[in-house]
Amino acid sequence: MGLISKSVSLLLNPRATVPLLIVATGWGVFHYLLPEKKELDESRRELALDTVNKITSELPRTDGMEKALVLPLENDPTGEVTGMLRSSLDSTGMYQVLDRPTLDRILNDLHLPERRAASLEEARKMGETGQARFVFSGEVRELSNLQDRRRCEIALAVIDTTTSGLALRRTWTSEAGTLAALGGGSSGGVKVFLLKTLLLFFFVIALPVITFKLVQIVVAQESNAVNLFMLIGYTVADLLFAFFLMGFDASSASRQTALALVVIAAFWLNYKICDRIEALGR
């Protein structure tokens, strides 16, 4: 019962609930002001082009002009990476990349969903009609490892419709430098990432605690070196917590649960430190 009563009193305490409201307001404000970009920024576009050129250089070589069908890559909502692949294949002079109307007609004739990768049987049907020899299908994905958050992969299957198997199935990994998946949208680059982090930090700690301290210092005339030192340490700790929040990969249920526990622990710690700061200020 003691734990339950303490939890209830914590929830009813304005110093615990007001920061929660401020955080919720803050998230809404900067997500509204800084919406996620769906197109690639210039640096990621260059990286994507370099990666696609690397892919093209390792594809099966052909003796003459071959028809190639590039299916829309998964996790490429804007189609930029798919378009880069088509352009890169066309620039080799060895592939005649089918245009979009031809692609739509082939998919309609075969009753294939547009965003679904071609199976071997479907690829052989395309080969039998002479519409394409190579079928390119794949996906763009972000690596889930936290250490690899600045890298991404393009997994591409190249299906030779004149044979009974895959001509090539490989995964190309981009160089370090991206912040999100090449085709899965962008958070706006490092500048926006830092801005969001600072905004999160502001709404989590700076607004409620600095206001609290200013009231103490200006109105109650309470200030001492230990009090200010605790405030500085508290501020640095919450800034690190904000960076952790912005860089945390919450792609699975277990990670989301861990993140929720960290957030709860952080607010409990904030509350206890607030108590300590107030006690030192008396």
Asked whether the predicted pLDDT for residue 160 surpasses 80, the reply is: no
What are the helix and strand counts (H, E) for the chain?
Answer: 10, 5
Q: Worst-scoring range by mean pLDDT, 2-11, 28-37, 211-220?
A: 28-37
Q: What is the pLDDT of residue 164?
A: 45
Residues making up the chain, counted from first to last: 282
The bridge status of strand 166-173 relative to strand 134-142 is unpaired
Confidence band (pLDDT; 50, 70, 90) for 260? low
- Positions of E strands within 52-174: 66-70, 95-97, 134-142, 152-160, 166-173
Half-sphere exposure for 180 (CA within 13 Å, toward CB): 20
The bridge status of strand 152-160 relative to strand 166-173 is antiparallel
What's the chain's average pLDDT?
Answer: 58
Q: What is the pLDDT of residue 180?
A: 31
247 contacts 142 by C-beta, under 8 angstroms:
no
Residue 228's contacts (CB-CB under 8 Å, 6 or more residues apart) are none
Asked whether the predicted pLDDT for residue 70 surpasses 70, the reply is: yes
Which of the given ranges, 1-15, 17-31, 86-100, 140-154, has the highest pLDDT on average? Answer: 86-100
User: For 188-235, how does the pLDDT look when each residue is reduced to its tens digit (9 = 90+)?
Assistant: 444 455 555 555 555 555 555 655 655 555 555 555 555 555 556 555
